[in-house]
A = this chain, B = another copy of it.
Amino acid sequence: MTYRPLFFITGLVLSKMAVFMYFPMILAFYTGTFGGMEFLLSIIITHLASIVFLYLGGEKQRSHLGVREMFLLTTGVWILASLFAALPFVFIEHISYSDAFFETMSGITTTGSTVLHGLDNMHHSILLWRSILQWLGGVGFIVMGVAILPFLNVGGMRLFQTESSDWSDKSSAKTRQVALDILLVYITLTIACYIGYRFAGMENFDAVNHAMTTISTGGYSTSDSSMGHFSNFAHWNAIIFMFLGGIPFLLMIRTMQQKSLTPLWQDAQIQGFAKLIIACTLSLTIYLVNSDQFSWLDALRLSMFNVVSVITTTGFGLDDFLTWGDFSIVVFAGLLFSGACSGSTSGGIKIFRFQIAFSLLQRQLMLLMHPHALFPQKYNNRKVSDEILRSLVAFILAYMATIAVSTLLLTAFGSEAMISLTASITAVSNVGPGLVPAIGPSGNFAGFPDASKWVLSIGMLMGRLEILTVAVMLTRHFWRR
């Protein structure tokens, strides 16, 4: 194992990240609010670290990276970058480094759980930094999910392998082009979302932040009451852009290139995603109206907002759905695992895995009745090989195992069983809020002991990197010479 590529890439990433720290610094200095000097200090430290890492990494070598180096790189860069991105939280909010790292990891993985109180009166510089972290994490992960993870065949993602996920030299130009296209779509959507929020009556600063945390399905807000602070029109705008954040960006690019919506309509995953949203929204709307809690229109808006928010793993809060009754709690508990489409900014198990698992089940039931018949399994007109199936199943198992281990550790560190369980699920699924009041849509993660915060941070990273990417590093074999 050679660590030099890891150091080199980390150096590059840190130098880019320092550039993004300029925005909150400039904001603070320009508006005369708090945090300018603190961000300047963070920038200096990050730049220095960047230089050290670049030095350790040596000359940029276009040497061939081994598979294990790829895994180390994929995981390591996020951890090392977060170590420095956490600095402004320590300097400005005066919280412990554990808290700051948790908040950073929650941001960059687009989870959106928070340990901070009093968002409404918080320094704008730090609010902006939180949103920037989510925005960067969002686009970073799409590119990774398109260019790296299918190539590594993590969790059945080879199903989405395209020419652009080939890392051989001859196609690296093409990969770079796809990454640029994704970035372009991402920026365009962010701006569109910003305009929508402005039309919905949001202040400029709120609109900027929420645009960044909506399209990245991150869910950080500038208000303790989250989306409850804004107009109904803003809620519908959020629904649209959370939905867009949850569909595969490659398909959006193809749609634009072909100037036709057909690639979107015909995609099995998007169909499943839309059907799931409609089914859950309708049943919750009926449930809410039947139990006399809201009028039809309010029930529809609140149901759809929360359903889309949880399925896309955004985690924006709007009215505390924990108070809606037990039926809704169970629906949302199920949706916590769901996630939206692969190749989007959303976390979770993701729709395509449920669809393939469900078709496997149907196929096995048919096989029980006709043991000698042949039922080839397909998805989106592509054959689902046994290899992809095994890889997908391994993902789901590892997902559940990660949640189980995290829950056990959290209770061992003294938390209640249900808090531990839903905190673990929401962390690994990158959703944000849990399903018990303490950490619910209007709750906070500050109450956990430090050890639990580190466990949850690792859980968020594992969820973000499709579990197996990180799990492979937990095997002894990985570290063998």
Contacts and interface: CB of A to CB of B under 8 A. Distances in A.
Interface string A42-74: 000000000000000000000000011001000
Contacts of A421: 330
Interface in A382-423: 386, 389-391, 393-394, 397-398, 401, 404, 407-408, 411-412, 415-418, 420-421
A154 B369 CA distance: 11
Contacts of A404: 334
Contact of A397 (B357, B401, B415, B418): B357
A360 B416 contact: no
Given A153-B371, A408-B330, A472-B369, A364 B394 contact: yes
Interface residues of A, number: 53
A61 B57 CA distance: 80
Contacts of A397: 357-358, 360-361
B67 A390 contact: no
Contacts of A417: 326, 329-330, 333
A411 B326 contact: yes
A144 interface: no
Contact of A68 (B327, B334, B369, B390): B369
> What secondary structure prevails in chain A residues at the interface with B?
helix
A259 interface: no
A467 to B, nearest CB: 10
Nearest to A377: B390
A366 B420 contact: no
A449 B118 CA distance: 44
B330 A475 contact: no
Contact of A369 (B67, B390, B391, B411): B67
A440 to B, nearest CB: 13
A126 B396 CA distance: 45
Contacts of A408: 327, 330-331, 334
Contact of A327 (B329, B358, B411, B472): B411
A397 B353 CA distance: 12
A466 to B, nearest CB: 11
27 contacts: A67-B369, A68-B369, A152-B368, A153-B368, A153-B371, A154-B368, A326-B411, A326-B415, A326-B416, A329-B411, A330-B407, A330-B417, A334-B408, A358-B397, A360-B394, A361-B397, A361-B401, A363-B394, A364-B390, A364-B391, A365-B471, A365-B475, A369-B472, A369-B478, A386-B390, A389-B390, A393-B393
